[in-house]
Amino acid sequence: MSKSDKPVPVLAIDGPSGSGKGTISRVVAETLGWHLLDSGAIYRAVGYAAGMAGIDLSDAAAVTRCTETTKIVFRAPKDGGETHVIVNGHDATDEIRTETCGAAASAIAVIPAVRAALLDKQRSFRKAPGLVADGRDMGTVVFADAPYKVFLTASAEERARRRYKQLKEKGLAVTLSTLLREIEARDERDATRKVAPLRPATDAVIVDTTGMPVDEVVARVLAVVQSA
Ligand code: C5P
């Protein structure tokens, strides 16, 4: 990029698990014709790879080495549909969506060297005409210079219900009460970790999506970009 070039715009969409970030980010990216970064999938892929390698998730040095050597490829099917996540050559699209992988992702995400090792990979998604970046620290750390920032929230009960529906549709055996407990535990860990804790950027627009239909959330988020 030359000095006169404007930086590629980024819309950072952060929020806790089940706040609707995934769906909203996908629809907004499609509407704007921008690229999409699902940063949670990257953390999940590393959690998955570490689990497959039998690494103790509290062993920071081993998990960091694993992060540096794990090959993560996003493959969008030509006919549309869900993007596949290939981890070290294995299609782990479904495996990384389990709550076990979510918990593993959250455990490795507290390690500062892991977060640092993933910065370049995440930033490499910033390509013209723009990027919608979905995560926990998109607006605060990875794309702190993003011109557009949104923080999505919803009550823990509503987020657990949404997750329940998603996982059931995938045929996974889960109960609502277990999911609620897991979501609360994950939120607590994500919000209280020392590095890049889950919190809204000071310049983020906060949208509480409790009881709000997807179309309305999409309209609110698009308005942040279009009214700027
Ligand atoms: O968004 P998703 O539920 O897929 O993320 C899984 C976990 O990965 C989160 O609970 C969080 O611990 C971690 N994560 C993170 N920073 C991001 C995205 C995800 O720490 N930008």
Q: Is residue 5 one of the residues assigned to a domain?
A: no
38-74 residue pLDDT tens: 999 999 999 999 999 999 999 999 999 999 999 999 9
Domain region containing 168:
10-226
Whether residue 113 contacts residue 65, with contact meaning beta carbons closer than 8 Å, is answered with no
Residue type, 141: V
**Measured distance between the N- and C-terminal CA atoms of the chain, rounded to whole angstroms:** 23
Nearest CA to ligand 1 atom 13: 106
83-121 residue pLDDT tens: 999 999 999 999 999 889 998 999 999 999 999 999 999
Q: How far is the CA of 4 from the centre of ligand 1 (A)?
A: 35
Q: What is the CATH number of the domain that holds 172?
A: 3.40.50.300
CA-to-CA dists, residue 208 to 10, 17, 96, 199, angstroms: 21, 13, 27, 14
Residue type, 79: D
Q: How far is the CA of 33 from the centre of ligand 1 (A)?
A: 24
Q: What are the phi and psi torsion angles at 35 (to 5°)?
A: -75, 165
Question: Where residue 170 falls among pLDDT bands split at 50, 70, 90?
Answer: confident
Question: Where residue 142 falls among pLDDT bands split at 50, 70, 90?
Answer: very high
Q: Is residue 2 one of the residues assigned to a domain?
A: no
What is the spatial distance between Cα 160 and Cα 182, in angstroms, rounded to a whole number?
Answer: 9
Nearest CA to ligand 1 atom 12: 106
Of 13, 106, 115, 193, the residue with max ligand 1 atoms within 8 A of its CB, to mutate for a pocket test, comes to 106
Find the residues whose C-beta lies inside 6 A of ligand 1: 17, 39-40, 43-44, 102, 105-106, 109, 135-137, 186, 190
Q: Is residue 30 one of the residues assigned to a domain?
A: yes
CA-to-CA dists, residue 147 to 80, 122, 132, angstroms: 29, 17, 11
This prediction has a pTM of: 0.92
What is the spatial distance between Cα 161 and Cα 35, in angstroms, rounded to a whole number?
Answer: 28
Q: Is residue 3 one of the residues assigned to a domain?
A: no
Q: How far is the CA of 22 from the centre of ligand 1 (A)?
A: 11
Q: How far is the CA of 2 from the centre of ligand 1 (A)?
A: 33
Q: Is residue 212 one of the residues assigned to a domain?
A: yes
Length of the chain, in residues: 228
CA-to-CA dists, residue 1 to 8, 10, 118, 144, 195, angstroms: 10, 15, 22, 18, 30
How many separate domains does the chain show? 1
Question: Where residue 189 falls among pLDDT bands split at 50, 70, 90?
Answer: confident
For the chain, where are the alpha helices, taking DSSP H only?
21-32, 39-52, 60-69, 99-108, 112-117, 119-123, 156-169, 176-192, 214-226
pLDDT at position 1: 53
Q: What is the DSSP letter of 9?
A: P
pLDDT at position 193: 86
Q: How far is the CA of 220 from the centre of ligand 1 (A)?
A: 23
Asked if pLDDT for residue 195 goes beyond 90, the answer is: no
The number of the ligand 1 atom at minimal distance from the alpha carbon of 138 is 21
pLDDT at position 128: 98
Q: Is residue 205 one of the residues assigned to a domain?
A: yes
State the helix-helix crossing angle for 176-192 and 156-169, rounded to 10 degrees: 120
Nearest CA to ligand 1 atom 4: 40
Provide the 3-class DSSP secondary structure of residue 186: helix
Long-range CB contacts (within 8 A, 24+) of 75-83: 83/38
Of 72, 111, 136, the residue with max ligand 1 atoms within 8 A of its CB, to mutate for a pocket test, comes to 136
CA proximity to 16, closest of 198, 158, 185: 198
Q: Is residue 99 one of the residues assigned to a domain?
A: yes
Q: Is residue 15 one of the residues assigned to a domain?
A: yes
